[in-house]
């Protein structure tokens, strides 16, 4: 007994001594700490610490998370002074549990506009401001990294996660993302640019193989990420769940090392998306590929790394390389720097920022002169609000991208705040219906449909039919009607064409009936679209007097819509994606999952069979995504890329395009020629001279937004790009190639409304890249 006690004391002594002698991590002793780490400690650091998503502090596969509801952590190694860091979703605000056991204090976070709405502002200064507020909340809630921005391309309007992403155009995606990232990181918190890459479909996302050409990948799906790296240096990247040309992104050396680090010079860390061990992919291959952090992390993964090094199948050099990157990340974090989180960010100030940014992202699609209300002697005092989402206004989407907001301003409240009331009978009908629909929905939810749980965001309930008698009574009482068409979507599932992209029969009927009845009495009808992504409009857009696309504008939604309705703010948002007449007009729709969801698919799939658009997805359309297709092939659209109306009009001067060194400068003067103040977004599209590669008719190469111009006032916008930005990717040479010749610069109010042009003669250039993604 005595002997054992002595041995224990000796062990304790050595451990204490080790702890005392061990170097403690500082920003300037990373080499020393790395040298002092055991293999087990190194492996531990490469594997995430916990997944706290579904629970309040419970442990799933690791250490307890420090912040209830945060998505994950990195492991702590106290012996070396390495703290755990906390990773939280993202991207529309900090996604943590709003309440905690043992305290009455709440932890609600501001619900900012979804990605699509932010991008529709085309205002990088404003997006940066949103980023700053999100960075501040990340830190104040004791987190280190916000898991966003979501940067995948809108390849097709049916993607369930388009709401988290910005655009069908990579330049706009990259510029908006860089503004968001610079905003967050200016606060001393980090971001995770996700989902890297080609994750433009949700169906079967954890195993689908995206079969895409190197050219389409480089020019479209990767380009936004490249811009973000060059212009904002994200602390972290998140590798997507899917495979690209046969190889999982998470273990894809071409993607994570050759392209990301060698071609683009990225210095931060890459983490996996939240999946743990993957069938057909070894953790050690992820380490070799340049994936620094396995999230949410399972102890088994660390064991695999240790065993790999011991058996010689994983070189310690790869482990050290990744651990070094982890340490470089950790020393930047608020946790490491002992930031005194208050758990009390200024939610009031941030509500103002979300309201302002949402208002600027709202796109006016149609206006026959009815808007703005109450400015021309009109007297709109009472409005009939149709559609359940007038009362259950969506602030954001579902899944990890939802935010627990302190409140959501619906249309009733938004109108009330500007002195307009909603008619009482209709309000009563809908409010009671929603109470019932909520309970019914949860009671009937399939247990596998986790994203339909209340904790994963507001849900869409079926519309109720409002009888003609009821509508007739409304016409008597109200001065106008608003019909809100709501759509909800989120991760793991794509949208159907019927009932999701297209309106349901009930919704269409509601628009027709309300328009007929109100118009018969000379009263206006506005349709408000409360959706994160594109819907069909052509079959009904002729009916209402005005259509506003409000997206999912964050917690201040109803106020933001009211700001536009009354003209307090003149709309200046523009579409960041094409609105097609029919979903099938997009060439990608034929290679896009249909109406079977993942769960049905799992039940249906027969052993060993590869199912198109589930097991693999062909990108037959190549680079002809969005307007690159519609504009080049002259196809009719409902609303073109870049479209958005204003309450005023703008004139464009003749542009000047000049080149100084590698930089090309485009100058254009925009004049407000209408009667009210407003902002304008100018878009620079470029047509390349005929060269060896087939190219889209024109591509967005720069954009700018004016300040608010008073009637008669002008502003000269200076928009810049680099000569390299004119390049196309030549797979044969593995190089970016700018053809020499005459480039036509077209400055437009949208892709189909070019206002002024100028030519520039450009010298050719070739920039070699690695051979990543080259066809073998």
Q: State the minimum distance, in angstroms, from the CB of residue 401 to ligand BGC.
A: 7
Residue 245 or 400 with smaller CB distance to ligand BGC: 400
Residue 205 or 701 with smaller CB distance to ligand BGC: 205
Q: Is 400 in the site for ligand BGC (CB under 6 A)?
A: yes
User: How far, rounded to the nearest angstrom, does the alpha carbon of residue 38 sit from its chain's CA centroid?
Assistant: 39
Q: How far is CA 165 from CA 150, 151, 397, 448, 609, in A?
A: 5, 5, 11, 25, 32
Handedness of CA 740, 174, 337, 82 (dihedral sign): negative
SS3 category, 669? strand
Q: State the minimum distance, in angstroms, from the CB of residue 423 to ligand BGC.
A: 41
Q: Is 225 in the site for ligand BGC (CB under 6 A)?
A: no
Residue 249 or 257 with smaller CB distance to ligand BGC: 249
Residues numbered 135 to 194 that lie near ligand BGC (CB under 6 A) are: 147, 194
Q: What is the C-alpha separation between 56 and 85, in angstroms, rounded?
A: 17
Residue 278 or 355 with smaller CB distance to ligand BGC: 278
Q: Nearest to residue 270, comparing CAs of 297, 240, 237?
A: 237
Q: State the minimum distance, in angstroms, from the CB of residue 89 to ligand BGC.
A: 5
Q: State the minimum distance, in angstroms, from the CB of residue 244 to ligand BGC.
A: 16
User: ∠ CA 237-242-243 to the nearest 5 degrees?
Assistant: 105
Residue 202 or 555 with smaller CB distance to ligand BGC: 202
Q: What is the C-alpha separation between 281 and 283, in angstroms, rounded?
A: 7
Token pair for 635: 């196809």
Residues numbered 194 to 213 that lie near ligand BGC (CB under 6 A) are: 194
Handedness of CA 728, 729, 733, 735 (dihedral sign): positive
Q: What strand order describes the sheet that includes 741-750?
A: 699-705, 681-687, 741-750, 753-762
Q: What is the C-alpha separation between 530 and 548, in angstroms, rounded?
A: 9
Q: Is 274 in the site for ligand BGC (CB under 6 A)?
A: yes
Residue 49 or 544 with smaller CB distance to ligand BGC: 49
Residues 241, 273 contacting (CB under 8 angstroms): yes
Residue 96 or 760 with smaller CB distance to ligand BGC: 96
Q: Is 451 in the site for ligand BGC (CB under 6 A)?
A: no
Of the candidates 273, 513, 597, 631, the residue annotated as catalytic is 273
Any residues with CB less than 8 A from the CB of 160 and at least 6 apart, and which? 202, 489, 490, 491, 492, 493, 494, 495
DSSP letters of 539-573? TTTTSSSEEEE--S--TTHHHHHHHHHTTSS----
Site size toward ligand BGC, by CB under 6 A: 10
DSSP letters of 457-485? -----PPPPPPHHHHHHHHHH-SEEEEEE
Of 132, 144, 273, 474, the one binding ligand BGC (CB under 6 A) is 273
Q: What is the C-alpha separation between 454 and 72, in angstroms, rounded?
A: 21
Residue 232 or 400 with smaller CB distance to ligand BGC: 400
Of 34, 50, 71, 289, the one binding ligand BGC (CB under 6 A) is 71
**Residue 667: CB atoms within 10 Å:** 18
Of 292, 392, 491, 725, the one binding ligand BGC (CB under 6 A) is 491
Q: State the minimum distance, in angstroms, from the CB of residue 532 to ligand BGC.
A: 15
Q: State the minimum distance, in angstroms, from the CB of residue 87 to ligand BGC.
A: 8
Residues 564, 358 contacting (CB under 8 angstroms): no
SS3 category, 86? strand
Residue 71 or 212 with smaller CB distance to ligand BGC: 71
Q: Are strands 145-147 and 86-89 parallel, antiparallel or unpaired?
A: parallel
Residue 147 or 670 with smaller CB distance to ligand BGC: 147
First to last CA, the chain: 67
Q: State the minimum distance, in angstroms, from the CB of residue 147 to ligand BGC.
A: 4
Active site residue 273: yes
Residues 544, 564 contacting (CB under 8 angstroms): no
3-class DSSP string for 297-323: CCHHHHHHHHHHHHHCCCCHHHHHHHH
Of 89, 292, 545, 699, the one binding ligand BGC (CB under 6 A) is 89
Token pair for 641: 């890329």
Residues numbered 29 to 68 that lie near ligand BGC (CB under 6 A) are: 53
Q: Which residues bind ligand BGC (CB under 6 A)?
A: 53, 71, 89-90, 147, 194, 273-274, 400, 491
Residues known to be catalytic: 273
């Amino acid at each position: 007994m005595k002997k054992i006690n002595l041995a224990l004391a000796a062990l304790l002594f050595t451990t204490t001594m080790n702890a005392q002698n061990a170097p403690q991590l500082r920003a300037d002793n990373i080499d020393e700490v790395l040298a002092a780490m055991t293999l087990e400690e190194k492996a531990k650091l490469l594997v995430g610490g916990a997944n706290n998503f579904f629970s309040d502090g419970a442990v799933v596969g690791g250490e307890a998370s420090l912040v209830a509801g945060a998505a994950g952590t990195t492991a702590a190694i106290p012996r070396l002074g390495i703290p755990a860091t906390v990773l939280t979703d993202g991207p529309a605000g900090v996604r943590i549990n709003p309440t905690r056991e043992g305290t009455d204090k709440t932890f609600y976070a501001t619900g900012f506009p979804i990605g699509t709405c932010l991008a529709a502002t085309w205002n990088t200064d404003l997006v940066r401001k949103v980023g700053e507020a999100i960075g501040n909340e990340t830190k104040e809630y004791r987190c280190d990294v916000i898991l966003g921005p979501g940067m995948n391309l809108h390849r097709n309007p049916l993607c369930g996660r388009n709401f988290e992403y910005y655009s069908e155009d990579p330049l706009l995606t990259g510029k908006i993302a860089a503004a968001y990232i610079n905003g967050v990181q200016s606060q001393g918190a980090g971001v995770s640019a996700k989902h890297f890459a080609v994750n433009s479909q949700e169906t079967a996302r954890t195993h689908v193989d995206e079969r895409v050409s190197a050219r389409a990948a480089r020019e479209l799906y990767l380009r936004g990420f490249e811009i973000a790296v060059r212009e904002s240096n994200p602390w972290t990247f998140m590798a997507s769940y899917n495979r690209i040309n046969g190889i999982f992104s998470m273990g894809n050396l071409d993607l994570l090392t050759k392209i990301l680090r060698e071609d683009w010079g990225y210095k931060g860390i890459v983490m996996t998306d939240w999946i743990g061990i993957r069938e057909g992919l070894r953790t050690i291959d992820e380490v070799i590929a340049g994936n620094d952090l396995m999230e949410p992390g399972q102890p088994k993964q660390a064991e695999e790394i240790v065993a790999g090094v011991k058996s010689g199948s994983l070189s310690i050099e790869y482990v050290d390389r990744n651990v070094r990157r982890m340490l470089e990340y950790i020393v930047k974090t608020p946790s490491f720097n002992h930031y005194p989180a208050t758990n009390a960010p200024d939610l009031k100030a941030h509500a103002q920022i979300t309201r302002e940014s949402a208002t600027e992202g709202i796109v006016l699609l149609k206006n026959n002169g009815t808007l703005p209300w109450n400015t021309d002697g009109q007297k709109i005092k009472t409005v009939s609000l149709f559609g359940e989402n007038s009362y259950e206004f969506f602030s954001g989407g579902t899944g990890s991208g939802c935010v627990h907001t302190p409140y959501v301003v619906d249309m009733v409240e938004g109108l009330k705040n500007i002195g307009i009331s909603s008619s009482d009978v209709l309000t009563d009908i809908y409010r009671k219906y929603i109470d019932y629909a909520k309970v019914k929905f949860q009671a009937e939810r399939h247990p596998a449909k986790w994203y339909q749980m209340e904790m994963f965001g507001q849900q869409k309930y079926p519309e109720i039919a409002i009888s003609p008698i009821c509508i007739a009574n409304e016409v008597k009482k109200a001065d106008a009607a608003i019909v809100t068409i709501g759509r909800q979507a989120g991760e793991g599932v794509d949208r159907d064409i019927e009932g999701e992209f297209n309106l349901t029969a009930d919704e269409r009927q509601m628009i027709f009936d309300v328009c007929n009845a109100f118009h018969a009495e000379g009263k206006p009808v506005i349709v408000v679209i409360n959706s994160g992504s594109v819907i069909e409009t052509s079959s009904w857009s002729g009916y209402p007097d005005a259509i506003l696309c409000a997206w999912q504008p964050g917690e201040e939604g109803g106020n933001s819509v009211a700001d536009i309705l009354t003209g307090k703010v003149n709309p200046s948002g523009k579409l960041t994606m094409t609105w097609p007449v029919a979903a099938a007009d997009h060439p990608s729709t034929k290679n896009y999952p249909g109406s079977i969801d993942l769960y049905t698919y799992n039940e249906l799939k027969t052993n060993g069979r590869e199912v198109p658009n589930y097991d693999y997805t062909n990108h037959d359309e190549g680079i002809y995504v969005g307007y690159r297709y519609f504009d080049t092939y002259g196809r009719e659209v409902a609303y073109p890329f870049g479209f958005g109306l204003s309450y005023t009009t703008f004139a464009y001067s003749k542009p000047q395009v000049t080149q100084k060194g590698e930089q090309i400068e485009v100058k254009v003067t925009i004049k407000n020629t209408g009667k009210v103040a407003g902002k304008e977004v100018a878009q620079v599209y470029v047509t390349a001279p005929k060269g060896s590669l087939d190219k889209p008719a024109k591509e967005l190469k720069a954009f700018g937004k004016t300040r608010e111009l008073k009637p008669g006032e002008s502003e000269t916008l200076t928009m810049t790009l680099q000569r390299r930005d004119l390049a196309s990717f030549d797979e044969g040479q593995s190089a970016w190639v700018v053809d020499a010749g005459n480039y036509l610069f077209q400055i437009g109010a949208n892709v189909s409304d070019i206002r002024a042009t100028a030519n520039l003669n450009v010298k050719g250039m070739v920039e070699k890249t690695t051979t990543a993604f080259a066809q073998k």
